[in-house]
Amino acid sequence: MMARPIGGGITAQEVVDRIKKSIGVEWKPETVDGFKAGDPTTVITGIATTSLATLSVLDRAVKAGANLIITCEPTFYSRADLPTPPARRGFGPGAAQSNQPATPPPPDPVFSGKDEFIKKHNLVVFRLSDHWRLRTPDPFAPGLADMLGWSKFAGTGDPKHVEIPETSLDALVAHVKTSLKARGGMRIVGNPQQRIRKVAFLPGSTPIQASIETLPGVDAIVAGEMREWETVEYVRDTVALGGKKSLILVGRVVSEDPGMHACAQWLETIVPEAKSMSISAGDPYWRPTA
Amino acid sequence: MSTLTAGEIVARIKSNLGFPWRDATYRDTFKFGGPDTVVKGIATTMFCSYDAIRRAHIAGCNMIIPHEDTYWSDRDDVSIVSGDPAYKLKVDFMREHDIVVFRIHDHMHAQKPDFTWVGLARALGLDSKLETAPQSHRFTLPETTLGELATRIQKRFAEQGINDKAIRVVGDPGTKVSRLQLGVGYASPAINDPNVDVVVSGEQQETDGFLDSPEYVLDAATLGIAKGWIMLGHNVSEEQGMQEMAEWIKKFTPEIPVQLVRSGEPFWVPK
């Protein structure tokens, strides 16, 4: 079934050209951003942004009349982001340098099921991660602040920082959980009774360097994903050594959702011919209640 | 009183491994103190956290043998953290109490058997009779659901006094699972193996990796393909094997006490 073009019949490629022209940063030669599935010459019926283009997100996009999906994270389950499963990594010394082609992987019903769904519904998937993050300010932190109802607490300085009315870590965690519709993905380090005013956002996935730079100036960091042998242990040690600090991990995908919601709002301004919406991938995790 | 030094203990570790020491390792080295320190007692631990060091000291141990890093990066790159107040306080404590830290990671994973897998399988009650082949770390269980399996794992840990409240699960709780692939640490096995229903492991990045398991499992659930993913946390997944490590070291250091001091679960979770 061909979707009906609306407005002037703009194609996915034309939308991407406008993104590149308007995003405010030089397009990088090496980037994860680009078309991941579908035909760029497809005339678009609507645009859906998301942090993660799961099949459920794609299905909701189809039902809402969108056929161009702008996703922050991969569609096909790896950085390579190809519609066929990755070849198994070689083993032993020199495997990575070996000229032997990797054994072709067997067909995978999840990869092919998703690929078929995209083809059947004439969808086009474009990944927008590196360049969206490079904007000034990086939209992911203000997006989170907005989703938490804290835009009014952002100062004139670093947009990653907000100063909120004093609360406890416990109360803050409850507020974050409700605002971001978290299920089982949240994990906290710190004393639940700790008082909090200054909060910094580190959405996505960030290394220890970002935390070392950020934690001394704030009471709490609200972050996406951090390595457990890096920031998690750093905050645990800081707390054990008397530092009144805390860390709220919400998960990478959940932390990027608000920034992709902001992306849909921005797309409305540069592609007025088409409807832009954001579709949340949700919190992938749950936990037993034993 | 024993005059056994940290250097002598490391020499005994190297000679008991059963394979040559790999000098190229940047992980398995002294992280604080050095070979000359006289050791009163040894504490193995998973993460070399300040609190684990403090409790080891109270228990009379001044040599810490952690599996993971001390200064919050894999390479223990002090240049990243040396200006931080927590770094200074941690180092001051170790200096004041004559602590010596020697990490065992690469050689632990190269040992046969690798105690991280042994310890985790023991704690989970995964009998080797259920393993498809020795060292496959794949177990065929009587069919259950993903939800029941996750609940059982958490209860089993709780019965042993192990906190794993921050366990995270992806997939439909009602999905029938039987073929379990175990993983440890950050080396979580790929969930797309057609012979695997559920992966139980430690930590894995959520996206942009070699195979992004959370999204794969979400889509498998949408397609009605039985898959489940249970992340125990990095600490819980590898800490159990530090018990086996302590027992192994005890065999060739009879002069001094050796014990596991748990770094424990770092997280709490909202209601």
Q: Cβ–Cβ of B205/A252 closer than 8 Å?
A: yes
A242 and A269, same domain (yes or no) = no
Q: Tens digit of pLDDT per residue, chain A (290 long)?
A: 444 444 559 999 999 999 999 999 999 999 999 999 999 999 999 999 999 999 999 999 999 999 999 999 999 999 999 999 887 654 333 344 445 556 677 889 999 999 999 999 999 999 999 999 999 999 999 999 999 999 999 888 888 999 999 999 999 999 999 999 999 999 999 999 999 999 999 999 999 999 999 999 999 999 999 999 999 999 999 999 999 999 999 999 999 999 999 999 999 999 999 999 999 999 999 999 85
| Residue B211's CATH number | 3.40.1390
Domain count, chain B: 2
A85 at the B interface (CB within 8 A)?
yes
Residue B84 has pLDDT above 70, yes or no: yes
Q: Cβ–Cβ of A109/B225 closer than 8 Å?
A: yes
* Residue A51 structural domain: 12-132+256-278
Q: From the CA of A23, how many Å to the nearest CA of chain B?
A: 23
Among B63, B96, B111, the domain-final residue is B111
B203-247 pLDDT tens trace = 999 999 999 999 999 999 999 999 999 999 999 999 999 999 999
**Is residue B154 within 8 Å of residue A286, measured between CB atoms?**
no
Nearest CB neighbour to B207, from listed A73, A173, A182: A73
| Residue A155's CATH number | 3.40.1390.30
A76 and A98, same domain (yes or no) = yes
How far from chain centre, in Å, is Cα A215? 22
Q: From the CA of A45, how many Å to the nearest CA of chain B?
A: 24
Look at residue A88 in the predicted model and tell me its pLDDT: 67
Q: Which of B90, B92, B38, B96 is nearest to B66 (CA)?
A: B90
A244 at the B interface (CB within 8 A)?
no
* Residue B154 structural domain: 115-234
Per CB-CB distance under 8 Å, the chain B contacts of A184 are 168-169, 269
B153-172 pLDDT tens trace = 999 999 999 999 999 999 99
Per CB-CB distance under 8 Å, the chain B contacts of A231 are 72
B179: region left, alpha or beta (phi > 0 left; psi from -120 to 50 alpha): beta
Among B80, B111, B142, the domain-final residue is B111
Nearest CB neighbour to A240, from listed B51, B68, B235: B51
Contacts of B9 (CB under 8 A, 6+ apart): B39, B42, B63, B102, B249, B253
B32 and B137, same domain (yes or no) = no
How far from chain centre, in Å, is Cα A195? 29
| Sheet with B42-45, edge to edge strand ranges | B30-32, B100-102, B63-66, B42-45, B258-260
Percentage helix, strand, coil, to 5, in chain A?
35, 20, 45
A248 and A262, same domain (yes or no) = no
Kindly state whether residue A64 falls inside one of the protein's structural domains: yes
B107 and B158, same domain (yes or no) = no
Residue B53 has pLDDT above 50, yes or no: yes
Nearest CB neighbour to A233, from listed B47, B154, B211: B47
Among B58, B84, B111, the domain-final residue is B111
Q: Which residues pair with B44 in a beta bridge?
A: B65, B260
Per CB-CB distance under 8 Å, the chain B contacts of A203 are none
B101 and B130, same domain (yes or no) = no
Residue B14 has pLDDT above 90, yes or no: yes
Q: How far apart are CA A138 and CA A129, in angstroms?
A: 11
Look at residue A90 in the predicted model and tell me its pLDDT: 43
Q: How far apart are CA B28 and CA B10, in angstroms?
A: 10
B72 → chain A, closest CA residue: A230
Q: Cβ–Cβ of A212/B84 closer than 8 Å?
A: yes
Per CB-CB distance under 8 Å, the chain A contacts of B82 are none
Nearest CB neighbour to B73, from listed A74, A113, A230: A230
Kindly state whether residue A7 falls inside one of the protein's structural domains: no
B130 and B217, same domain (yes or no) = yes
Per CB-CB distance under 8 Å, the chain A contacts of B203 are 227-228
Nearest CB neighbour to A114, from listed B74, B158, B219: B219
Q: How far apart are CA B56 and CA B243, in angstroms?
A: 14
A237 → chain B, closest CA residue: B50
**Is residue A130 within 8 Å of residue A32, measured between CB atoms?**
yes
Q: Cβ–Cβ of B218/A54 closer than 8 Å?
A: yes
Kindly state whether residue A148 falls inside one of the protein's structural domains: yes
A56 at the B interface (CB within 8 A)?
yes
A230 at the B interface (CB within 8 A)?
yes
Per CB-CB distance under 8 Å, the chain B contacts of A182 are 270
B118 at the A interface (CB within 8 A)?
no
| Residue B59's CATH number | 3.40.1390.30
Q: By percentage, how much of chain B surpasses pLDDT 90?
A: 99
Per-window interface: A 147-176 vs B, CB < 8 A: 173-174
The residue type of A225 is E
Kindly state whether residue B87 falls inside one of the protein's structural domains: yes
A29 and A113, same domain (yes or no) = yes
- Between helix A252-270 and helix A12-22 the angle, nearest 10°, is 100
B126-149 pLDDT tens trace = 999 999 999 999 999 999 999 999
* Predicted ipTM > 0.90: yes
3-state secondary structure of B44: strand
Q: Cβ–Cβ of B49/A110 closer than 8 Å?
A: no
Look at residue A93 in the predicted model and tell me its pLDDT: 38
Q: Cβ–Cβ of A216/B85 closer than 8 Å?
A: yes
Q: Which of B270, B164, B175, B268 is nearest to B229 (CA)?
A: B175
Residue B125 has pLDDT above 90, yes or no: yes
The residue type of A206 is T
Kindly state whether residue B134 falls inside one of the protein's structural domains: yes
